[in-house]
Structure 1
């Protein structure tokens, strides 16, 4: 029927071996590692799905940009509230329904940025409790935004 030279027979044999090896490799990859080969038309659909997954992961990242704070003291609705990262004390007070008339807002810094997990205490007028500055000094100091005086107040840190 067909007559091939020895050189052509070798080429056909190599081609057949590569074809069979490719078939087994492809089916083995799908079963073993779950790798799926897709056509060009499927690629467009798959790319759309990838873009959707990226937007979902971005929305997950946006959710991580929220902080949770406990608002207590002289506010209308004390409780735990979720705010955007970078929110200020005044926003936490607003979220808790606002300050009561007997709140002593002059004792706290309403412009201070909130930290995740922080308690925001709004003192009542006439409270003998510690001032907000004293409460702040008991907490952790943010090394990135601390003043020189705050850094010097740390144990083991001298003049800068």
Structure 2
């Protein structure tokens, strides 16, 4: 009777061990399967997110052979967009900062050459020369001409990224001291990206910028 009881105990122990091992094994398989099923869902989301992060869309117009909307990789420059749209012979690329980075949704207008245009100043006339362009176009090459401007035709804009001290001093409200600060700022921090960046220069606030905005450009 004693031997039968021990035999039963041994059998019970073996069966219990098998059940525990089998249950643990099945649980491990279930965990592995659940992990494998969750990965494809993540992989379906990540490619689109990466694609959005690595791609930008810009509209190229103006003096180009193939105006239209182009997709470029993130970090693309103005030069990349101009090359894709194929600049026409009359395109004046010197008026563009070809090294400037593009942003998603921007419009790049490639200007045409105008007789007698020299140096780094941008004319206040539009490409047809019949009417002044808006301050938005003169300060931002990605904008469209609106046909109206508070400035009178025939003047020039001063490129605050390339102008020397004498040129800067021709701007309203800019004397030798402020001109020197502008030069020191761009030498320390790099070129101005937009005209509004000039307000980062000590001594130039919103009021003085209102006097300057129609006379300056960064391209």
Normalising to structure 1: TM-score of the pair?
0.57
**Equivalent residues, number:** 116
1:74 offset after TM fit, Å? 1.2
**CA separation in 2, counterparts of 1:108 and 1:151?**
23
Q: Give the unaligned 5+ runs of structure 2.
A: 1-25, 115-122, 127-132, 144-189, 210-219
1:70-81 matched pairs, under 5 angstroms = 70-81=59-70
State whether structure 2 residue 58 is matched by structure 1 residue 69. yes
Question: Which residue number in structure 1 is paired with residue 76 of structure 2?
Answer: 87
CA distance in 2, matches of 1:77, 1:62: 28
Query: Is 1:113 aligned with 2:70?
Result: no
- The Cα of 1:111 is off from its aligned counterpart by 0.6
Which structure has the higher relative contact order (CA within 8 Å, separation 6+)?
1
C-alpha contact (below 8 Å) 1:151/1:157 kept by paired residues: no
How far apart are 1:146 and its partner, in Å?
7.8
Check if 1:134 corresponds to 2:138: yes
Normalising by structure 2, what TM-score?
0.43
**Does the 8 Å contact 2:76/2:101 carry over to 1?**
yes
Unaligned runs of 5+ in 1: 1-37, 140-144
Structure 2 Cα separation of the partners of residues 101 and 117 of structure 1 = 26
Give me the whole-angstrom Cα distance separating, in 2, the residues matched to 1:103 and 1:82. Answer: 22
1:90/1:109 CA distance change after superposition, 3 Å = same
Corresponding position: 1:49 with 2:37: yes
C-alpha separation in 2, matches of 1:124 and 1:44: 63
Please give the alpha-carbon distance, in whole angstroms, between the structure 1 residues aligned to 2:191 and 2:38.
Answer: 42
Contact 1:108–1:132 (Cα < 8 Å) also in 2 = no
Partner of 1:23: none
Tell me how large the CA RMSD over aligned residues is.
3.7
SS in 1 for 2:105: coil
Conservation of the 8 A alpha-carbon contact between 1:71 and 1:93: yes
